[in-house]
Amino acid sequence: MDEINEVLRKAPLFEALGEEDTAALRSSVNEVRLGRGQTLFGEGDEGDRLYVILSGKVKLTRTAVDGRENLLSVLGPSEMFGELSLFDPRPRTASVVAVTDSVLAGLGHDDLRPFLSSRPHVSLQLLKALAERLRRTNDVMADLVFTDVPGRVAKALLELADKFGKESDDGLHVHHDLTQEELAQLVGASRETVNKALAEFALRGWLRIEAKAVVLLDVERMRRRAR
């Protein structure tokens, strides 16, 4: 279980804590295991826990009234979610579904609040993380308005590469574990258009398409296409 300690330490929320604080928290952590496709909680559910991903990937999704889905983000190891409800106790605004088999660490809000009050660092860290997210979200919004679908796909792939990419001799492997449908929901486009964009990129030799993954061959051109 030292594994847990190590991943927790990397999570932005906890890197500000010392040995003993981390240890104190550890006791109130519970572990959750999810299989691919399994949902942790749904939009509208009540919930007062915060989660850190120990291994695997999850997606945060929102569902429109007519059933269409929108993918807010894909999170990997040491990333955190569910923290918004720490501050105002409203129902969850997104669903969380495992994209691969995953292990999560869950923390009750009540166990966390003492740390917020007594350790200013922790609040500051959280504020920083939220500010970061806010900037990023604004970027994504601007892209939705100004960039066409191929551009958004390129950008999304590059971001996924930052998170999950593994450099190897035949290119930058990005095993995102998403279907093209999910990719489409992530960039706010239809499955077909995303498919065509990917095909176009492959045709030009900028990437190779694999099952639930892409191999980036010409990152520079992808970058240029993204803007």
Partner DNA sequence: AACCGGGTGCGACATACGTCACACTGTTGG
Partner DNA sequence: CCAACAGTGTGACGTATGTCGCACCCGGTT
Binding site for its own copies (CB under 8 A): 62, 64-66, 68, 70, 72, 83-84, 86-88, 93-94, 116-118, 120, 123-124, 126-128, 130-135, 137-138, 140-142, 144-146, 188, 227
Does the footprint of DNA cover residue 119 (CB under 7 A)?
no
> Which residue number, 3 or 192, has a Cβ lying nearer to DNA?
192
Question: Which x/- pattern over 132-171 shows residues binding DNA (rule: CB under 7 A)?
Answer: ----------------xxx---------------------
Does the footprint of DNA cover residue 180 (CB under 7 A)?
yes
- Single-letter residue type at 155: K
Please tell me the distance from the alpha carbon of residue 67 to that of residue 181, in angstroms, as a whole number: 14
The nearest distance, CB 24 to its own copies, in angstroms, is: 18
> Which residue number, 79 or 83, has a Cβ lying nearer to its own copies?
83
Please tell me the distance from the alpha carbon of residue 60 to that of residue 154, in angstroms, as a whole number: 20
Name which of 149, 137, 169 is nearest 226 in CA terms: 149
The nearest distance, CB 181 to its own copies, in angstroms, is: 14
> Which residue number, 87 or 146, has a Cβ lying nearer to DNA?
146
Please tell me the distance from the alpha carbon of residue 43 to that of residue 64, in angstroms, as a whole number: 11
| 191 CB-near residues (< 8 Å, 6+ apart) | 180, 181, 184
> Which residue number, 35 or 91, has a Cβ lying nearer to DNA?
35
Does the footprint of DNA cover residue 215 (CB under 7 A)?
no
* 150 contact choice in DNA, its own copies, none (CB below 5 to 8 Å, kind-dependent): DNA
Beta strands in the chain (DSSP E): 29-34, 39-41, 49-55, 58-63, 69-75, 80-81, 95-98, 102-108, 165-168, 171-174, 207-210, 213-216
**Exposed, middle or buried: residue 1 (CB in 10 Å: 0-12, 13-18, 19+)?**
exposed
The pair of structure tokens assigned to 101 is 């088999």
Does the footprint of DNA cover residue 189 (CB under 7 A)?
yes
Does the footprint of DNA cover residue 181 (CB under 7 A)?
yes
The nearest distance, CB 190 to DNA, in angstroms, is: 4
DSSP structural state of residue 89: -
Please give the backbone phi and psi of residue 153, each rounded to the nearest 5 degrees, phi first.
-60, -45
* Residues within the interface to DNA (CB under 7 A): 148-150, 179-181, 188-193, 195-196, 198-199, 209, 211-212
